[in-house]
């Protein structure tokens, strides 16, 4: 349930195109051919393919072509670290200047990429936004695209290419072609290919370069380099000229090391070798890595000598060295003492803002513990941004021996499982973290892991039968870390709720909110989100509204998913108080935000179910149900198992609307969707489903037994009005069985709940016509009790003729919603 403003998990230079250097040889014929493929017209290409080994001037040629066009260009420098989530985040940022008319939050779409339909949803939303955008022709450039290795990312790009609108194209610049079938685009004339043979320098071009350099023998140079642009450049730029071949990367690497690097002044050579750990060179970063305070002077010298660089569009002068030059420098760097090499990587990591690069640098420094600490620090932000795939990839890169002994990684894996609602796996990983922190002797880490493990047990416990493990018990004191204090209080709140102790629940939840006072990190506010079951319980009304007020301040307009669930808490509290108009306003906005954020499941569970209850209470069940079902179709379909809880509330609303035909249809559709673990995690809900199924089938005896079991489990805990509703329904069954005294006793229990703070809506959810039948049955009640029952009917009596008592149907609820 994550959605956030842009979280740049990459260096901003990744999306800055290089500047076209003035000293490069113009190649007008090739540039014109590219221009024809990039513009609308008969030769327009869907895919522009520039494929050749390093040093063939692919990026420079495209920059020359773009210089003569008015195109909207999103330039991405590809890296091996690119996962689908990381690449998508950089693409969204690169497209930001063009103000695409997104219909859904792109950040939310990225956050849900791990869902089965996540990549398709992002692709379709991107295609729609590109198609609807206004302005010149557009181009997405993948520079150094051969670095892309993630299969999900390559599949995504293939699907994107298939559906690109005519106003946009894709340019692939790399040493190898994409792993897609290109024959179809070639046959359709939608593929522009410039490969090695076309990108070589011609004799005329080499003559032009020789003339500018004051040298002759162009034909010899062509034979020596076979027209390889970087080879020609090296031969012309070297003082002695050399005579060996320059036809392959191996030849060039040798040449760069012995003819170029050896000829540099030693201070400049040392500076370049040290800074070769950096993908881009800026004065500040280079000074930190090399220890040279006058790094700016060395950058001037690199530019003056034309040492194989591109300047990146950036606020601070930033140079990106050519890959082949960096490779040659890396060969020299590896000749340094290992301790020197590790120190360079450590210094590079110290000033790196890109969390994935920083993690990689620390691994290169052979410091897996520091890499794990960096990953643990960055992971909450990355997860909040939906980059779970990037986090998992980094986890997999930690050396196995270090990973097996790392409690931080176990804790992180547990949090990822929680984010995915995989509570059993969360408990498994938190148990590992508890043991590993204990073995290390880390008391603070051990307490935090215990708090999370206890919370996972809460998620696996049904109302009325909470689980505790003494191994996870901690004592909170003055030195308890703030985060541990929050998670422990959250565990205590849920444990108290499962015991039916609403006052204890409120006390502990207020402790959670006290500990979070002033906290602006959305991830923590997601973690402490009150469960839906807390709605409909009057002693908890104040804590729900306090959470909603604080979470709305944190969310602002930047975190729409958090705002949606906070509005649900706010609107839900108003709904149960009977303030339907104000509730509807908040819940409509929450549902709209759920749609904007691509319908994340948890957000929809909150927003859609609560709005459905509100609209049903307003007398709109038929229309509300139709809208609800349309939303479910967008969330995997009506039979999609994770949607069972939303259909359970649909069933409860059918009973609230006295629409028993709809209730029966929903119950029949719901039962195959139920999780196999429902009886363990949501025992009361399972009992209700079974009871209503039996009642609808005419088996009143079985329905009676099951409803009695459910009532014994819930007791007086009126979570979402369930205790009140069950008493209405149980009284109706007694009446149906000709047991007026027993029916009257259940009515008395219902009225006692109302006097202790129960909400009228809870009684109505048992079925307004059940209430009306009980009020008209002449039950043996005191006059005051009869009057109170009539009052409930007055609030609930439906329009239309009365109907005989039927057999309702029910279904289950999500983790913590009991």
Residue 83 token pair:
């996962």
d(CA 126, CA 118): 12
User: With contact defined as beta carbons under 8 Å apart, do 96 and 270 qualify?
Assistant: no
Would you state the pLDDT for residue 249? 64
Which tens digits make up the pLDDT trace of 335-350?
999 999 999 999 999 9
For residue 3, pLDDT beyond 90: no
Would you state the pLDDT for residue 213? 77
Nearest to 98 by CA among 67, 132, 122, 64: 132
Q: What pTM was computed for the model? A: 0.76
pLDDT band at 234 (very low <50, low <70, confident <90, very high): confident
pLDDT band at 238 (very low <50, low <70, confident <90, very high): low
Q: Compute φ and ψ for 289, nearest 5 degrees.
A: -80, -45
Tokens 């859609």 sit on residue: 608
Mapped onto helix, strand or coil, the DSSP state of residue 320 is: strand
Would you state the pLDDT for residue 289? 96
Tell me the CA end-to-end span of the chain in Å, nearest whole number. Answer: 20
Query: From residue 422, how far is each of 43, 223, 311 by CA, in Å?
Result: 51, 63, 46
Burial class for 490, CB neighbours closer than 10 Å (0-12, 13-18, 19+): buried
In 185-323, beta strands by DSSP E: 191-195, 309-312, 318-321
Would you state the pLDDT for residue 245? 54
Poorest-confidence range of 282-286, 555-559, 644-648, 675-679?
675-679
User: With contact defined as beta carbons under 8 Å apart, do 573 and 585 qualify?
Assistant: no
d(CA 312, CA 687): 64
d(CA 480, CA 444): 7
Tokens 């590896």 sit on residue: 334
Would you state the pLDDT for residue 807? 42
Poorest-confidence range of 437-441, 556-560, 572-576?
556-560
Residue 443 token pair:
């008391």
Beta bridge partner(s), residue 51? 174, 195
d(CA 695, CA 703): 5
pLDDT band at 116 (very low <50, low <70, confident <90, very high): confident
Nearest to 253 by CA among 332, 158, 181, 184: 332
- Laid out side by side, the sheet with 318-321 consists of 18-19, 309-312, 318-321
d(CA 311, CA 322): 11
pLDDT, average across residues 58-78: 91
How many C-beta neighbours within 10 Å does residue 28 have? 11
Residue 26 token pair:
């113009």
Q: Report which secondary-structure segment, H or E, holds 130.
A: helix 118-132
User: With contact defined as beta carbons under 8 Å apart, do 594 and 571 qualify?
Assistant: no
**What percent of the chain clears pLDDT 90, i.e. is strictly above it?**
61
DSSP 485-504: HHHHHHHHHHHHHHTT-HHH
Q: Who has greater pLDDT, 23 or 715?
A: 715
pLDDT band at 747 (very low <50, low <70, confident <90, very high): very high
Our measurement of the distance from residue 96's CA atom to the centroid of its chain's CA atoms, rounded to an integer in Å, reads: 19
Q: Compute φ and ψ for 174, nearest 5 degrees.
A: -165, 175
Our measurement of the distance from residue 572's CA atom to the centroid of its chain's CA atoms, rounded to an integer in Å, reads: 26
pLDDT, average across residues 441-466: 92
Our measurement of the distance from residue 418's CA atom to the centroid of its chain's CA atoms, rounded to an integer in Å, reads: 13
Phi-psi region of 421 (alpha: psi -120 to 50; beta: other; left: phi over 0): left
d(CA 8, CA 206): 43
User: With contact defined as beta carbons under 8 Å apart, do 226 and 50 qualify?
Assistant: no
Which tens digits make up the pLDDT trace of 241-284?
455 555 556 767 777 787 778 888 999 999 999 999 998 999 99
Please list the alpha-helical segments (H only) found in 39-79. Answer: 58-67
Question: Average model confidence (pLDDT) for the chain?
Answer: 88
For residue 803, pLDDT beyond 60: no
Would you state the pLDDT for residue 445? 96
For residue 764, pLDDT beyond 80: yes
Of the spans 45-54, 556-565, 776-785, which averages the highest pLDDT? 776-785
Residue 633 token pair:
């179709």
Q: Compute φ and ψ for 557, nearest 5 degrees.
A: -100, 0
Mapped onto helix, strand or coil, the DSSP state of residue 15 is: helix
DSSP 443-457: HHHHHHHHHHHHHHH
For residue 369, pLDDT beyond 60: yes
């Amino acid at each position: 349930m994550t959605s956030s403003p842009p979280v740049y998990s990459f260096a901003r230079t990744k999306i800055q195109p290089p500047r076209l250097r003035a000293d490069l040889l113009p190649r007008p014929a090739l540039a014109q051919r590219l221009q024809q493929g990039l513009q609308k017209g008969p030769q327009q290409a869907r895919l522009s393919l520039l494929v050749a080994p390093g040093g063939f001037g692919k990026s420079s040629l495209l920059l020359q072509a773009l210089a003569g066009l008015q195109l909207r260009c999103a330039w991405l420098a590809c890296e091996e670290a690119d996962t689908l989530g990381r690449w998508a985040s950089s693409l969204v940022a690169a497209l930001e200047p063009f103000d695409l008319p997104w219909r859904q939050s792109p950040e939310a779409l990225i956050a849900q990429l791990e869902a089965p339909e996540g990549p398709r949803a992002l692709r379709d939303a991107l295609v729609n936004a590109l198609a609807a955008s206004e302005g010149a022709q557009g181009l997405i450039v993948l520079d150094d695209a051969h670095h892309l290795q993630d299969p999900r990312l390559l599949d995504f790009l293939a699907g994107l290419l298939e559906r690109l609108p005519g106003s946009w194209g894709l340019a692939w610049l790399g040493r190898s072609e994409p792993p897609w079938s290109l024959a179809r685009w070639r046959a359709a004339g939608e593929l522009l290919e410039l490969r090695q043979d076309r990108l070589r320098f011609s004799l005329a071009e080499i003559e032009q370069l020789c003339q500018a350099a004051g040298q002759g023998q162009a034909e010899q140079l062509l034979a020596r380099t076979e027209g390889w642009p970087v080879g020609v450049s090296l031969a012309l730029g070297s003082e002695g000229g050399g005579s060996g071949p320059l036809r392959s990367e191996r030849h060039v690497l040798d040449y760069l090391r012995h003819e170029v690097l050896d000829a540099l002044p030693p201070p400049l050579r040392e500076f370049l070798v040290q800074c070769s750990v950096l993908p881009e060179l800026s004065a500040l970063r280079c000074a930190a890595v090399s220890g040279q305070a006058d790094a700016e002077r060395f950058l001037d010298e690199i530019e003056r000598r034309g040492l194989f660089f591109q300047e990146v569009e950036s606020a601070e002068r930033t140079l990106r060295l050519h890959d082949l030059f960096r490779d040659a420098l890396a060969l020299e760097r590896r000749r340094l003492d290992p301790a020197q090499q590790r120190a360079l990587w450590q210094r590079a990591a110290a000033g790196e803002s890109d969390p994935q690069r920083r993690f990689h640098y620390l691994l290169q420094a052979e410091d897996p513990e520091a890499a794990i600490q960096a990953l643990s620090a960055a992971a909450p932000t990355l997860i909040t941004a939906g980059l779970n795939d990037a986090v998992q990839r980094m986890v997999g890169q930690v050396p196995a021996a270090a990973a097996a002994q790392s409690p931080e990684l176990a804790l992180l894996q547990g949090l990822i499982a929680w984010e995915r609602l995989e509570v059993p796996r969360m408990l498994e990983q938190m148990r590992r973290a508890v043991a590993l922190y204990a073995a290390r002797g880390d008391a603070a880490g051990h307490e935090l892991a215990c708090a999370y493990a206890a919370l996972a047990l809460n998620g696996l416990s049904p109302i009325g039968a909470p689980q505790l493990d003494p191994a996870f018990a901690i004592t909170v004191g003055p030195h308890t870390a703030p985060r541990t204090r929050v998670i422990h209080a959250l565990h205590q709140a849920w444990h108290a709720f499962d015991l039916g102790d609403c006052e204890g629940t409120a006390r502990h939840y207020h402790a959670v909110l006290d500990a979070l006072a002033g906290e602006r990190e959305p991830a923590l506010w997601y973690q402490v989100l009150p469960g839906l079951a807390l709605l409909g319980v009057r002693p908890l009304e104040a804590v729900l509204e306090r959470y909603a007020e604080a979470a709305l301040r944190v969310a602002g307009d930047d975190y729409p998913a958090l705002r949606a669930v906070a509005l649900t808490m706010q609107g839900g509290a108003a709904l149960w108080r009977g303030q339907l108009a104000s509730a509807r306003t908040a819940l409509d906005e929450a549902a709209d935000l759920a749609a904007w954020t691509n319908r994340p499941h948890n957000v929809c569970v909150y927003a859609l179910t609560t709005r459905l209850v509100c609209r049903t209470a307003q007398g709109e069940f038929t229309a509300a149900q139709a809208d609800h079902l349309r939303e479910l179709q967008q969330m995997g379909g009506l039979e999609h198992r994770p949607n069972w809880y939303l259909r359970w509330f649909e069933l409860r609303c059918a009973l609230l609307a006295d629409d028993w035909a709809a209730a029966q249809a929903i119950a029949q559709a719901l039962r195959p969707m139920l999780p196999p673990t429902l009886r363990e995690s949501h025992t009361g809900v399972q009992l209700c489903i079974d009871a209503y199924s039996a009642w609808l089938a005419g088996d009143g005896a079985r329905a009676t037994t099951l409803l009695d079991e459910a009532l014994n489990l819930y007791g007086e805990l009126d979570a979402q009005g369930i205790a009140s509703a069950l008493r209405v329904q149980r009284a109706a069954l007694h009446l149906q069985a000709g047991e007026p005294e027993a029916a009257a006793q259940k009515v008395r229990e219902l009225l006692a709940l109302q006097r202790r703070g129960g909400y009228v809506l809870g009684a109505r959810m048992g079925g307004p016509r059940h209430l009306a039948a009980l009020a008209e049955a002449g039950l043996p009640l005191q006059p005051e009790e009869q009057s109170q029952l009539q009052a409930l009917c007055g609030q609930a009596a439906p329009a239309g003729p009365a109907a005989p008592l039927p057999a309702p149907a029910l279904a289950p609820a999500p983790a913590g919603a009991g």
